[in-house]
Protein backbone atom coordinates (compact mmCIF):
# COMPACT_ATOMS: atom_id res chain seq x y z
CA UNK A 1 0.00 0.00 0.00
CA UNK A 2 1.39 3.42 -0.91
CA UNK A 3 0.38 6.87 0.21
CA UNK A 4 1.63 10.41 -0.07
CA UNK A 5 2.57 11.86 3.28
CA UNK A 6 2.54 15.45 4.45
CA UNK A 7 6.29 15.01 4.84
CA UNK A 8 6.42 14.45 1.06
CA UNK A 9 6.87 11.59 -1.37
CA UNK A 10 5.26 8.20 -1.94
CA UNK A 11 6.02 5.55 0.62
CA UNK A 12 5.09 1.97 1.41
CA UNK A 13 3.30 1.39 4.74
CA UNK A 14 4.65 -1.30 7.08
CA UNK A 15 3.37 -2.20 10.53
CA UNK A 16 5.89 -1.67 13.31
CA UNK A 17 5.14 -0.86 16.94
CA UNK A 18 8.75 -0.05 17.92
CA UNK A 19 7.98 3.70 17.85
CA UNK A 20 4.95 3.60 20.15
CA UNK A 21 6.95 4.78 23.17
CA UNK A 22 8.44 7.67 21.15
CA UNK A 23 4.94 8.64 20.07
CA UNK A 24 3.46 8.54 23.58
CA UNK A 25 6.43 10.56 24.91
CA UNK A 26 5.88 13.17 22.20
CA UNK A 27 2.17 13.20 23.07
CA UNK A 28 3.02 13.90 26.74
CA UNK A 29 5.18 16.85 25.63
CA UNK A 30 2.36 18.18 23.46
CA UNK A 31 -0.21 17.90 26.25
CA UNK A 32 2.03 19.62 28.79
CA UNK A 33 2.69 22.55 26.45
CA UNK A 34 -0.71 23.20 24.87
CA UNK A 35 -2.84 26.19 25.76
CA UNK A 36 -6.46 25.05 25.90
CA UNK A 37 -7.64 28.49 24.73
CA UNK A 38 -6.15 27.73 21.31
CA UNK A 39 -8.49 24.75 20.98
CA UNK A 40 -11.80 26.31 22.06
CA UNK A 41 -14.35 27.96 19.75
CA UNK A 42 -17.90 29.16 20.34
CA UNK A 43 -20.35 26.77 18.70
CA UNK A 44 -24.01 25.90 19.19
CA UNK A 45 -24.49 28.38 22.02
CA UNK A 46 -21.45 27.47 24.12
CA UNK A 47 -17.68 27.24 24.06
CA UNK A 48 -16.50 23.86 22.81
CA UNK A 49 -13.14 22.14 22.47
CA UNK A 50 -12.54 21.55 18.76
CA UNK A 51 -10.88 18.15 18.37
CA UNK A 52 -10.05 18.99 14.74
CA UNK A 53 -7.78 21.72 16.13
CA UNK A 54 -6.22 19.21 18.53
CA UNK A 55 -5.45 16.92 15.58
CA UNK A 56 -4.05 19.77 13.48
CA UNK A 57 -1.82 21.14 16.26
CA UNK A 58 -0.66 17.68 17.35
CA UNK A 59 0.22 16.82 13.75
CA UNK A 60 2.36 19.98 13.55
CA UNK A 61 4.00 19.12 16.88
CA UNK A 62 4.85 15.60 15.66
CA UNK A 63 6.64 16.71 12.46
CA UNK A 64 10.09 17.20 14.09
CA UNK A 65 9.74 13.65 15.45
CA UNK A 66 9.13 12.41 11.87
CA UNK A 67 5.62 11.33 12.82
CA UNK A 68 2.19 12.20 11.52
CA UNK A 69 -1.44 11.39 12.09
CA UNK A 70 -2.92 9.74 9.02
CA UNK A 71 -5.87 11.08 7.07
CA UNK A 72 -7.86 7.84 7.10
CA UNK A 73 -10.46 7.92 9.84
CA UNK A 74 -12.53 5.12 11.34
CA UNK A 75 -15.63 5.92 13.37
CA UNK A 76 -16.45 3.73 16.36
CA UNK A 77 -19.95 2.29 16.13
CA UNK A 78 -20.58 4.42 13.03
CA UNK A 79 -20.73 7.57 15.16
CA UNK A 80 -18.97 10.51 13.51
CA UNK A 81 -17.72 12.13 16.71
CA UNK A 82 -15.65 9.04 17.68
CA UNK A 83 -12.63 9.22 15.39
CA UNK A 84 -9.69 6.80 15.25
CA UNK A 85 -6.69 7.72 13.08
CA UNK A 86 -3.50 5.78 12.33
CA UNK A 87 -0.18 7.25 13.52
CA UNK A 88 2.84 6.89 11.25
CA UNK A 89 6.56 7.19 11.81
CA UNK A 90 8.27 8.48 8.67
CA UNK A 91 12.01 7.80 8.69
CA UNK A 92 14.07 10.04 6.42
CA UNK A 93 16.28 7.32 5.00
CA UNK A 94 13.72 4.85 3.66
CA UNK A 95 10.80 4.56 1.27
CA UNK A 96 8.63 3.09 3.99
CA UNK A 97 6.49 4.60 6.67
CA UNK A 98 5.83 2.68 9.83
CA UNK A 99 2.31 2.44 11.18
CA UNK A 100 2.98 2.45 14.89
CA UNK A 101 -0.30 3.19 16.70
CA UNK A 102 -3.82 4.61 16.59
CA UNK A 103 -5.03 7.84 18.13
CA UNK A 104 -8.64 8.31 19.23
CA UNK A 105 -10.09 11.82 19.15
CA UNK A 106 -13.63 11.91 20.48
CA UNK A 107 -16.04 14.78 20.95
CA UNK A 108 -18.43 14.77 23.90
CA UNK A 109 -21.96 16.15 24.05
CA UNK A 110 -21.13 19.11 26.28
CA UNK A 111 -18.17 20.65 24.48
CA UNK A 112 -15.48 18.41 25.94
CA UNK A 113 -13.08 16.19 24.01
CA UNK A 114 -11.21 12.97 24.72
CA UNK A 115 -7.86 11.69 23.45
CA UNK A 116 -6.33 8.24 23.87
CA UNK A 117 -3.89 6.01 22.00
CA UNK A 118 -4.08 2.29 21.22
CA UNK A 119 -1.99 -0.44 19.68
CA UNK A 120 -3.30 -2.67 16.85
CA UNK A 121 -5.25 -4.82 19.30
CA UNK A 122 -7.13 -1.96 20.94
CA UNK A 123 -4.97 -1.96 24.08
CA UNK A 124 -4.32 1.47 25.61
CA UNK A 125 -0.73 2.68 25.23
CA UNK A 126 -1.27 6.12 26.74
CA UNK A 127 -3.32 7.79 29.43
CA UNK A 128 -6.77 9.07 28.49
CA UNK A 129 -6.97 12.85 28.36
CA UNK A 130 -10.13 14.91 28.83
CA UNK A 131 -10.10 18.31 27.17
CA UNK A 132 -12.39 20.86 28.80
CA UNK A 133 -12.72 24.57 28.12
CA UNK A 134 -10.94 25.21 31.44
CA UNK A 135 -8.06 22.75 30.98
CA UNK A 136 -6.90 19.21 30.30
CA UNK A 137 -7.33 16.33 32.77
CA UNK A 138 -5.20 13.22 32.67
CA UNK A 139 -7.46 10.32 33.59
CA UNK A 140 -6.16 7.62 35.87
CA UNK A 141 -6.38 4.24 34.22
CA UNK A 142 -6.17 0.86 35.87
CA UNK A 143 -2.62 0.41 37.06
CA UNK A 144 -1.19 2.83 34.49
CA UNK A 145 0.37 -0.15 32.73
CA UNK A 146 0.54 0.22 28.98
CA UNK A 147 1.49 -2.32 26.37
CA UNK A 148 4.72 -0.60 25.36
Looking at 7-11, 35-39, 95-99, 121-125, which range is the least confident one?
Answer: 7-11
Q: Per-residue pLDDT tens for 52-69?
A: 999 999 999 999 999 999
Q: Is the pLDDT of residue 42 over 90?
A: yes
Whether residue 146 is contained in a domain is answered as: no
Whether residue 4 is contained in a domain is answered as: no
Q: Is 79 left (phi over 0), alpha (psi -120 to 50) or beta?
A: beta
Whether residue 25 is contained in a domain is answered as: yes
pTM listed for this prediction:
0.83
Q: Measured in whole angstroms, how far is the alpha carbon of residue 7 from the centre of its chain?
A: 17
Task: Determine the structural domain holding residue 82 and report its residue range.
Answer: 11-140
Rounded distance between C-alpha atoms, residue 16 and residue 30, angstroms: 23
Question: Phi and psi of 43, rounded to 5°?
Answer: -155, 135
Note the pLDDT of residue 10: 62
Rounded distance between C-alpha atoms, residue 143 and residue 52, angstroms: 30
Whether residue 148 is contained in a domain is answered as: no
Q: How confident is the model at residue 12 (pLDDT cuts 50, 70, 90)?
A: confident
Q: Is the pLDDT of residue 103 over 70?
A: yes
Q: How confident is the model at residue 140 (pLDDT cuts 50, 70, 90)?
A: low
Q: What is the DSSP letter of 50?
A: -
Whether residue 3 is contained in a domain is answered as: no
Whether residue 24 is contained in a domain is answered as: yes
Rounded distance between C-alpha atoms, residue 117 and residue 115, angstroms: 7
Whether residue 145 is contained in a domain is answered as: no
The most confident of 15-24, 40-49, 134-143, by mean pLDDT: 40-49
Q: Name the H helices within 45-88.
A: 51-62
Number of domains in the chain: 1
Note the pLDDT of residue 76: 74
- Average pLDDT for the chain: 86
Amino acid sequence: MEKETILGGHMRIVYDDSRQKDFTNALEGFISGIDIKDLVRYEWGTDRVQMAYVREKLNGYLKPFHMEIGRTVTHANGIGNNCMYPVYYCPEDTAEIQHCAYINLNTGMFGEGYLSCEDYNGKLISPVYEFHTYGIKRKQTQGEVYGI
